[in-house]
């Protein structure tokens, strides 16, 4: 036992210190296998008071702490360099579902899919939904301000959060698990921790908004069009027809659909993969409204349009969308970007950037898909002559091409996975010097010893 392990052995129960070396090796590696970390000890506290003890000791002895949820953020953010790797998975209780205020209070280590299921069993809907929902945790979702499939209607994790419980770097606790929808008592401090990627404290619980279930009044549409610009026109049309009732509006490219249909050995819903595909869902609709919308789409020339006839078909279509990341992984290594742009500039960005990439890399193929309805895209550049890890030698030049265009079109270089280590160097291009200085002041004030997830996010 090393001296750091001994320190924690004196104040935690034995099962709060993880000793399974095989599991530890796995946890120290980023899911993409790009970052291999190290830790002096891996802790799995069973209570909030244990998290407080851990942080207090870390602060007293200047030991760094890296919180880890489901380890799905893919940018090195949850991979420690040394010190404590802090696993939150045992803090996974649902503390309360409060139907009157329409909120759930849940601990940070709960897996997102488990929370969705528990809420559904209680007759409610929790709209945060991502392809990684079977492993990502509520704390990680908040620490990255996760988005996903339903942002168009329900917003990102921050929009769903009413209250937080956070252990600060010195071990003190801020507990503000209020179901209040309004609270104007001076500065709202809670958003500081949302999107902070574990650099300011450890989120241990949250109070989140719930919504009515609309399963019986949801319509799902698959549209196949030859030209990308038609997807944008379709978005405008659907917005004018359904307004805020649109829940998801997903864009899938021909290349992404070909990969996924091949991998799952299924057909594309419309029988062909060519062109561009939109998977759109809206809620609180009626049979008459659905028919009117279908007729209008036909009239506007969207004749390759299908309406899901039942839950099974709907699930098959969503499976295609959600399986894309796995199908891509099998294709090989790529340079991935989770970017967002103003929706009205998406098409210009895609067309000009793909042309630029292909001018610079003869064997490049961009596989893109994403949440067109909120402007965010998974934009992954494959080099067909480098489908193994050797593609990373071109990462910087590809990133520079992509990010320069993203900025030119007023977009952002990180829309979902966070900054972590991967995009640290680019933060100065996104934030102004004044914003960076303020970030630094906040970090120093809350974490003067820089123990919380050091060398992540902050470019200094
Ligand atoms: C297949 C796939 C699809 C995805 N799709 C989407 C998508 O549609 N939308 C989207 O937004 N993201 C998406 N992601 C990214 C990722 O799943 C999200 O960022 C998720 O919110 C991360 O949660 P996690 O529990 O895995 O966090 P981790 O990866 O474990 O951690 C992420 C960061 O949060 C910190 N952290 C974790 N828990 C806590 C805590 N309790 N307190 C303080 N800090 C903490 C970590 O230190 C780290 O900095 C996807 C990822 C994959 C693999």
Q: What is the CATH number of the domain that holds 181?
A: 3.30.465.10
DSSP-assigned letter for residue 345: G
**Which atom in ligand 1 lies closest to the alpha carbon of residue 457?**
49
Residues 298 and 228 in one domain: yes
CATH number at residue 16: 3.30.43.10
Print burial letters for 415-427: b (CB count within 10 Å at least 16), e (below 16).
Answer: bbbbbbbbbbebb
**Which atom in ligand 1 lies closest to the alpha carbon of residue 166?**
42
Is residue 457 situated within a structural domain? no
Task: Report the separation in Å between the CA atom of 233 and the middle of ligand 1, taken as the mean of its atom positions.
Answer: 32
**Among 128, 144, 259, which is best to mutate for testing ligand 1, by the most ligand atoms less than 8 A from CB?**
144
Quote the CA–CA distance of 49 and 65 in Å, as a whole number. Answer: 16
Is residue 206 situated within a structural domain? yes
Give the CA count within 13 Å in the CB-facing half-sphere of 83. 25
Closest CA to 149 of 5, 47, 249, 24: 249
Instruction: Quote the pLDDT of residue 2.
Output: 87
298 in Cβ contact with 290 (< 8 Å): no
Residues 263 and 277 in one domain: yes
Q: Is the CB of 325 under 6 A from ligand 1?
A: yes
179 in Cβ contact with 125 (< 8 Å): no
Residues 179 and 242 in one domain: no
Residues 220 and 252 in one domain: yes
Residues 146 and 240 in one domain: no
pLDDT category of residue 321 using cuts at 50, 70 and 90: very high
CA 113 to chain centre: 14
Is residue 151 situated within a structural domain? yes
Instruction: Quote the pLDDT of residue 376.
Output: 96
pLDDT 10s digits, 51-106: 999 999 999 999 999 999 999 999 999 999 999 999 999 999 999 999 999 999 99
In the chain, % of residues over pLDDT 70: 100
Instruction: Quote the pLDDT of residue 124.
Output: 97
235 in Cβ contact with 249 (< 8 Å): yes
Alpha helices in 122-212, H assignment, sequence order: 138-143, 151-154, 157-160
pLDDT category of residue 31 using cuts at 50, 70 and 90: confident
The last residue of one of the domains, among 325, 346, 369, is 325
CA 63 to chain centre: 28
Quote the CA–CA distance of 416 and 197 in Å, as a whole number. Answer: 12
Residues 203 and 100 in one domain: yes
On average, the pLDDT of the chain sits at 96
The last residue of one of the domains, among 190, 212, 234, is 212
Instruction: Quote the pLDDT of residue 459.
Output: 83
**Which atom in ligand 1 lies closest to the alpha carbon of residue 77?**
49
The last residue of one of the domains, among 36, 56, 87, is 87
Instruction: Quote the pLDDT of residue 153.
Output: 97
- Tell me the whole-structure pTM to 2 decimals: 0.95
Quote the CA–CA distance of 44 and 90 in Å, as a whole number. Answer: 7
**Among 140, 174, 330, which is best to mutate for testing ligand 1, by the most ligand atoms less than 8 A from CB?**
140
Beta bridge partners of 366: 381
Residues 349 and 275 in one domain: no
Query: What's the Cα-to-Cα distance from 233 to each of 118, 225, 343, 373, rounded to whole Å?
Result: 38, 11, 11, 12
Task: Report the separation in Å between the CA atom of 108 and the middle of ligand 1, taken as the mean of its atom positions.
Answer: 12
pLDDT category of residue 460 using cuts at 50, 70 and 90: confident
Quote the CA–CA distance of 154 and 156 in Å, as a whole number. Answer: 7
pLDDT 10s digits, 272-288: 999 999 999 999 999 99
Residues 29 and 103 in one domain: no
Quote the CA–CA distance of 147 and 150 in Å, as a whole number. Answer: 8
Q: Is the CB of 131 under 6 A from ligand 1?
A: yes
Is residue 380 situated within a structural domain? yes
**Which atom in ligand 1 lies closest to the alpha carbon of residue 456?**
49
Residues 348 and 361 in one domain: yes
Is residue 10 situated within a structural domain? yes
Residues 222 and 318 in one domain: yes
Is residue 264 situated within a structural domain? yes
Residues 239 and 312 in one domain: yes
Helix (H/G/I), strand (E/B), else coil: 407: helix
Is residue 403 situated within a structural domain? yes
Is residue 304 situated within a structural domain? yes
Q: Which domain holds residue 302?
A: 214-325
Q: Is the CB of 452 under 6 A from ligand 1?
A: no
Residue 318 has pLDDT above 90, yes or no: yes
Instruction: Quote the pLDDT of residue 371.
Output: 96
CATH number at residue 339: 3.30.70.2740
Q: How many domains does the chain have?
A: 4
Strands 364-371 and 17-18: unpaired
CATH number at residue 308: 3.30.70.2190
pLDDT 10s digits, 119-142: 999 999 999 999 999 999 999 999
């Amino acid at each position: 036992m090393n001296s750091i392990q001994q320190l924690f052995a004196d104040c935690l129960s034995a099962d709060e210190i993880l000793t399974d070396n095989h599991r530890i090796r796995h946890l120290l590696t980023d899911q993409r296998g790009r970052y291999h970390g190290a830790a002096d000890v891996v802790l799995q506290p069973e209570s909030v008071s244990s998290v407080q003890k851990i942080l207090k000791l870390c602060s007293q002895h200047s030991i760094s702490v890296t919180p880890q949820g489901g380890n799905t953020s893919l940018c090195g953010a949850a991979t420690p360099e040394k010190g404590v790797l802090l696993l939150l998975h045992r803090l996974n209780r649902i503390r309360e579902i409060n139907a009157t205020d329409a909120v759930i209070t849940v601990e940070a280590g709960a897996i997102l899919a488990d929370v969705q299921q528990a809420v559904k069993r209680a007759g409610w809907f929790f709209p945060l939904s991502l392809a990684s929902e079977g492993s990502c945790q509520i704390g990680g979702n908040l620490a990255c301000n996760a988005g996903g499939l339903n942002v168009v209607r329900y917003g990102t994790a921050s929009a769903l959060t009413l209250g937080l419980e956070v252990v600060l770097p010195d071990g003190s606790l801020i507990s503000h698990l209020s179901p209040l929808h309004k609270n104007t008592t001076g500065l709202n401090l809670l958003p500081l921790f949302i999107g902070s990627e574990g650099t300011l404290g450890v989120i241990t619980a949250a109070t989140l908004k719930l919504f009515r279930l609309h399963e019986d009044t949801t319509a799902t549409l698959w549209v196949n069009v030859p030209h990308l610009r038609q997807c944008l026109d379709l978005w405008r049309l659907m917005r004018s027809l359904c307004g805020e009732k649109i829940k998801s509006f997903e864009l899938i490219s021909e290349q992404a659909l070909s990969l996924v249909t091949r991998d799952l050995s299924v057909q594309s819903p419309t029988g062909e993969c060519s062109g561009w595909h939109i998977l759109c869902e809206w809620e609180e609709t009626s049979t008459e409204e659905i028919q009117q919308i279908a007729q209008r789409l036909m009239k506007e020339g969207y004749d390759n349009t299908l309406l899901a006839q039942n839950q099974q078909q709907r699930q098959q279509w969503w499976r295609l969308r959600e399986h894309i990341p796995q199908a891509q992984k099998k294709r090989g290594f790529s340079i991935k970007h989770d970017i967002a742009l103003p929706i009205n500039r998406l098409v210009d960005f895609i067309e000009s950037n793909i042309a630029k990439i292909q001018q610079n890399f003869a064997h490049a193929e961009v596989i893109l898909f994403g949440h067109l309805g909120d402007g965010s895209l998974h934009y992954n550049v494959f080099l067909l002559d480098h489908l193994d890890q050797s593609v990373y030698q071109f990462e910087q030049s590809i990133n520079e091409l992509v990010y320069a265009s993203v900025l030119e079109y007023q977009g952002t270089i990180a829309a979902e996975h966070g900054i972590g280590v991967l995009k640290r160097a680019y933060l100065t291009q996104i934030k102004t010097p004044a914003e960076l200085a303020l970030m630094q002041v906040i970090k120093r004030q809350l974490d003067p010893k820089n123990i919380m997830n050091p060398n992540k996010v902050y470019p200094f």
